[in-house]
Amino acid sequence: MDAISVIRTKRDRGELSPEQIDWIVDAYTRGEVADEQMSALAMAILLNGMNRTEIARWTAAMIASGERMSFDGLSRPTTDKHSTGGVGDKITLPLAPLVAACGAAVPQLSGRGLGHTGGTLDKLESIPGWRALLSNAEMLDVLDTTGAVICAAGDQLAPADKKLYALRDVTGTVEAIPLIASSIMSKKIAEGTGALVLDVKTGSGAFMKTIEDARELASTMVALGTDSGVRTVALLTDMSTPLGLTAGNALEVRESVEVLAGGGPRDVRDLTLALAREMLDAAGLKDADPEKALDDGSAMDVWRRMISAQGGDPDAALPVAREQHVVTAPASGVLTRLDAYDVGVAAWRLGAGRARKEDPVQAGAGVELHAKPGDTVTEGQPLLTLHTDTPEKFEYALKALPGAYDVAPAGTPFTPTPVVRERIA
């Protein structure tokens, strides 16, 4: 085998053989294939695609590059969830303890934010003392004692994906649906969960801007999971508007705790419950009542135990940014649009996100929303509050916002987009 012949096959719209796929993934992981060669292949895949057989073999090769975990010793069925990323997407935080409170085990391997999308680990690291990096033994212990764990994936879990993802990020090939699907599913299958629910975002704040692309990605991942023996279902969910009323690390933790306390924004609560029902159904716990567990405090109890088990203090005060700037409504009327991407870019520029993986983030930075589409606003009332420790960032963040919202005259009809748009199984 040689890299050039593999590149030429896909460049010329051919189908990669199983042997070619196994060799190129293994050789790249071991450093025998250069970054520029894998970059060329990734671009060829972006432009020419892969069929189901190729994607399945590519995913299997990435799984084979590292270890596979097993939760066979647990007394509970395992079920997990993955989101393709968005703005204000703090759903994992209330969801994992909620599903655990209903009798399942939730091994949630999460990531960090990059660009305008937030990362679950960045949010949780705003809690004093909380640790994302756990050994496999520590992860299993937390999962066994609390029912849920949220942590970073170990270095030996699909290492081919870690190396390839970093390359895709700097070569303009992140959007390749076969590579997105295999990246997500290689980690989830190697993780060893028995069931998986995919939250595939669509809209301006998502990587999949159109529902057609989101549907293709979801269908590809459901097929990969099903073929690997993992009960898999996907929900296509709206990301044209930020989820909830906050985008930023500590801000979103605070909002998640409100949801666990039985309150919080309606869209966050509704999506949390919708995903919880899917996860419990996939785990064989159809009779569990997640709404009751959210309202009676049992989900909050699991949250507190889970945070404590990972070194965090659930009672500690969360960081607050030193500086705030208020953006007011430009007119009176009905807020008809609040763009998720623009809000996400503003939060990122304030310090809530990173441009490179090694960049630090500010725990208290972000954007607070005072109205959502469909709400009536009055000229001059607070529409958004920007939070940061570095006030010189306000000017740059504000440049993302002039086209982020529309206010129509009072009485203008408004039809909200449902949070859950489709289900694929």
φ, ψ at 50 (rounded to 5°)? -140, 150
Residue 75 maps to a domain: no
Per-residue tokens: 177: 């649906």
Q: Sorting pLDDT into bands at 50, 70 and 90, what band is 116?
A: confident
Residue 68 maps to a domain: no
* Among candidate residues 350, 381, 386, 353, the one with its CA nearest the CA of residue 368: 386
82 in catalytic set: yes
| Domain boundary pick from 284, 309, 334 | 309
CATH number of 357's domain: 3.90.1170.30
Q: Does one domain contain both 139 and 103?
A: yes
The pLDDT of residue 320 is above 90: yes
Which pLDDT does position 303 carry in this prediction? 98
Q: Does one domain contain both 105 and 250?
A: yes
Beta strands at 195-202 and 420-424: parallel, antiparallel or unpaired: unpaired
The pLDDT of residue 169 is above 80: no
Query: In total, how many domains does the chain have?
Result: 3
Beta strands at 148-152 and 106-110: parallel, antiparallel or unpaired: parallel
Q: Which residue in 10, 57, 81, 82 is the catalytic one?
A: 82
Most distant CA pair in the chain: distance in Å? 67
Q: Which residue in 182, 183, 228, 240 is the catalytic one?
A: 183
From residue 127, alpha-carbon distances to 142, 246, 308 in Å are: 17, 16, 10
Residue 20 maps to a domain: yes
CATH number of 22's domain: 1.20.970.10
pLDDT tens figures, 344-390: 999 999 999 887 777 889 999 999 999 999 999 999 999 999 999 99
Residue 257 maps to a domain: yes
Cβ atoms within 10 Å of 13's Cβ, excluding its own: 10
Q: Which residue in 89, 122, 161, 199 is the catalytic one?
A: 161
Q: Which residue in 187, 231, 304, 387 is the catalytic one?
A: 187
Over residues 104-133, mean pLDDT: 92
pLDDT tens figures, 192-244: 999 999 999 999 999 899 999 999 999 999 999 999 999 999 999 999 999 99
pLDDT tens figures, 119-168: 899 999 999 999 999 998 999 999 999 999 999 988 888 999 989 988 98
Residue 72 maps to a domain: no
pLDDT tens figures, 287-316: 999 999 999 999 999 999 999 999 999 999
Residue 328 near residue 83, CB atoms below 8 Å:
no
Residue 368 maps to a domain: yes
CA distance 147 to 335: 41
Q: Sorting pLDDT into bands at 50, 70 and 90, what band is 391?
A: very high
Q: Does one domain contain both 89 and 200?
A: yes
Q: Does one domain contain both 285 and 331?
A: no
Mean pLDDT (the chain, rounded): 95
187 in catalytic set: yes
Residue 18 maps to a domain: yes
* Among candidate residues 104, 18, 80, the one with its CA nearest the CA of residue 285: 104
pLDDT tens figures, 253-277: 999 999 999 999 999 999 999 999 9
Q: Sorting pLDDT into bands at 50, 70 and 90, what band is 113?
A: confident
| Domain boundary pick from 280, 309, 338 | 309
Over residues 14-30, mean pLDDT: 97
CA distance 170 to 172: 6
* Among candidate residues 3, 11, 67, the one with its CA nearest the CA of residue 31: 3
Which pLDDT does position 10 carry in this prediction? 98
Which pLDDT does position 111 carry in this prediction? 85
168 in catalytic set: yes
Residue 297 maps to a domain: yes
Q: Does one domain contain both 216 and 354?
A: no
Q: Does one domain contain both 253 and 164?
A: yes
Residue 382 near residue 363, CB atoms below 8 Å:
no
Q: Does one domain contain both 296 and 332?
A: no
Find the domain containing 29 and state its range.
3-49
Q: Does one domain contain both 22 and 93?
A: no
183 in catalytic set: yes
Over residues 23-35, mean pLDDT: 97
* Among candidate residues 358, 334, 359, the one with its CA nearest the CA of residue 349: 359
Over residues 53-57, mean pLDDT: 96
CATH number of 269's domain: 3.40.1030.10
Over residues 170-196, mean pLDDT: 92
